[in-house]
Each structure stands twice: as structure tokens, then as C-alpha cells.
Copies of this chain bind each other. A is one copy, B any other.
């Protein structure tokens, strides 16, 4: 993408209302624009990151055997009355009357809807296990939305729902999601620690939150320092050991009963990026979601639900990956892999070299943002550092003479001069 034809409205100063670094950087880098309290427009750069995260989540859900569907944002109140949650859910639920005065709502979550799909179509245990997920916008009418997309009102969530014949099957479904979550976060450059948590308004029997550690985290968390040595991406991840290690949110932690000796207990602040629940028959019982079991009897299915805050992750990743100059994206979620800077677009040789390199990079399947604008070098470099593409490639008059370009790795700041061929080999290697 040529920056001269792109829409990247970077700001010199972050608006005063932005309290945390990810919010400030997202505004300054032209990723988002507030439309109303807790409601954001995703501008081109932010949109690309959102899609990258969404796609990683999708791939890990598919790999775990979950099947993608899409449930609508607007739901009838009936199903929530049936489950008993319509009155229980507080003012965070956006309640709506349609033109015929029917009670509707903007879904804050989808247990009722997916249970309705299930009970209408699934009749036999032979159709189990089943895990249906979707990636859809939700609305929760937070009384005080803040921290940008980290605590917005309209937010993008992946929510999956598992259906099993019995508790043993439900545990397998739960564990499959547990592992998929660790993989997905790892792919995004995050280490998320699974913590035993309270079930809250979803209700149920077992629950883990996945928290990344950050100074700006919303809640205090406690964990065994053994977590710091675990490779969450290991193919033979020992899930039982992981679950047995102590890690708990503030709600669940009890210093007097904590099984971890003080010298091994760590505490910090966490950002919740995912939450999984096993809640048994909490919805299948009131809503009559049953299957015929192997013995011919009707059985209420065992369910779980599994959420990932897709739009929140954009902020969480920035909290984990930034420095004083701006964002520093992990390659897997970067809006572009390479920022190509033409230092002298007024010099025909420089411009021709940069144009040719741009085409070669694109042809090699690399996503490039090409700063071909007639701007000062300082402005171009500052913009690139701010928006945080993993690699910066600079074409300047000296290099053009020598047949080289400069490659700078954003994260380390390390620079080197190399030929176009060597650059391509490096970036595609």
C-alpha cells in the first residue's frame, strides 16, 4: 500500500482523555477514532490488526474442531426470559423495543441463542461432541467505558459453545479450548496465564480466565512463579500440570489458604483476554436441550462456553509490545510486515529503486506500507516507529549508489545495510 494513497491519520498528541498507553498509541497511530463513549471506528491500520487477530483465533478454533457460525447481534428477549437471565442481567444489557413494541436486546453473549439452535437440530448423542463458535460484535452498556478498546461498549468477541453427552466429554471439550487458547495467545506474541476464576453471570462449575500481565491491568492476580518457565507453545503441553499450578484472580485468592509458599508466589496486575466456563446443564435444563443417549433415555446436554476478546486484544498486545517511540507489533498481528521508506522521492533514481523494491516485496507475498510521500525523513521515521511495523526498509541516495538498502528491526533497533536480494531472503526466510 502506498502511503500517499492510504488513510493513516496519525496525531502528534494523544487526546487528553486517553489514560493508558495502548489507548494513546492507538489514537496517535490513527488506528481508531471514538464515535461515542466506548464505541469506536476502526480506521484502516487498526482494522488490519483486528482482522489478523480474528484470523489467528479462527484458525485455532478450527484446528480444535470447533465449527464457525454467525449469530446476529439483535436477539429477541424471549430466549433470555426462558433461561431466567433477562431480569438477572443488569443495566449492562442494551434493551431495545422494535417498531412492534417487541422486546429485543443487543446480545452481550449468546448462550441462549446457541442452545436454541442446538435443541432445534440435534437429537442424538451420535451428533456429539459439538462445538459451535462465532466471531461477532457484542454490546455491554458499561456505566463508565474507558481504556479505549480495552473496555468498550461495542466490542468484538469470539465465543464458542460446547455440547457433550456427559461430564467426561465436557471436560475433554473444555481442555481442548484450554489448549487452543494458550496456542492462540502465544501466536499473537502474548503469554497468557490461565487462572482459576469465578463464573460470574455465566454461572457454572469450573472456569479459567486467561490473563496477560501488564502494569495497567484492571485486576490483581496471583500465580506460582513456575508459570514463568513454561513453554505454552510446546506440542506436549501438560494440561493437568498447568491446571494444578496455582494461579488465581483477586476474587478467588485467599492468602491464608494459598497452597504456594510465599517465596514462590508472584503477584501482579492482569488483563483478561479470554475466559472459559464449564457450566453443565445450566442452560440445557431450563431450555430443554436434550439428546437421546445410547440407552435410549433423554439426557440434558453438558455445556461450556469459551470467550476471547478480539477487539480488546488489540489493546492488550500494545500494552505488552511498545516502547517510548510507539508500538512494536509481533509479526503475526502487524498491520503490514514492512515499512518501506523512500528518503528522497524527489530524486528519480531513489524513487525508481524504491518503486522496484516495493513491487518485488509485494510479488514475494510480503505486506508493505510504502511511504512514498513528499515528507521530511524525520517525519517518515517517526511515523514508522509510531505505527510499529516489524521491519523498516530505507532507500536513500547513498545506498542506491552502493546497491544496498537499510533494514531496521523495530523491536531491537538493529540496523544493517544489505542488497535487495539479501533483504528478500531475510524477510521470506
A residues apposed to B, CB below 8 Å = 5-7, 9, 30, 33, 35-36, 39-44, 47, 50, 65, 67-76, 91-92, 94, 96, 98-99, 102, 104, 106, 113, 116-117, 120-122, 130, 132, 137, 139, 141, 143, 153-154
Contact = CB atoms under 8 A, between A and B. Distances in A.
Contact of A72 (B6, B99, B154): B154
A315 to B, nearest CB: 16
Nearest to A131: B7
A106 B96 CA distance: 10
B36 A75 contact: yes
A122 B30 CA distance: 12
How many copies of this kind of chain does the complex include? 2
A73 B381 CA distance: 35
A70 B99 contact: no
Given A75-B36, A106-B74, A69 B41 contact: yes
B73 A35 contact: no
Given A6-B67, A9-B121, A41-B71, 18 more contacts: A7-B132, A30-B121, A33-B121, A35-B71, A35-B75, A36-B75, A36-B76, A36-B102, A40-B72, A41-B117, A42-B69, A42-B71, A47-B68, A47-B70, A73-B73, A74-B94, A74-B154, A94-B98
A330 to B, nearest CB: 21
Contacts of A106: 74, 96, 106
B33 A137 contact: no
- Going nearest first, the 8 A-B pairs with the smallest beta carbon separation are A9-B121, A42-B70, A36-B76, A91-B99, A72-B154, A99-B141, A39-B72, A47-B70
A84 B74 CA distance: 26
A7 B130 contact: yes
Contact of A68 (B44, B121, B141): B44
Nearest to A5: B65
A105 to B, nearest CB: 10
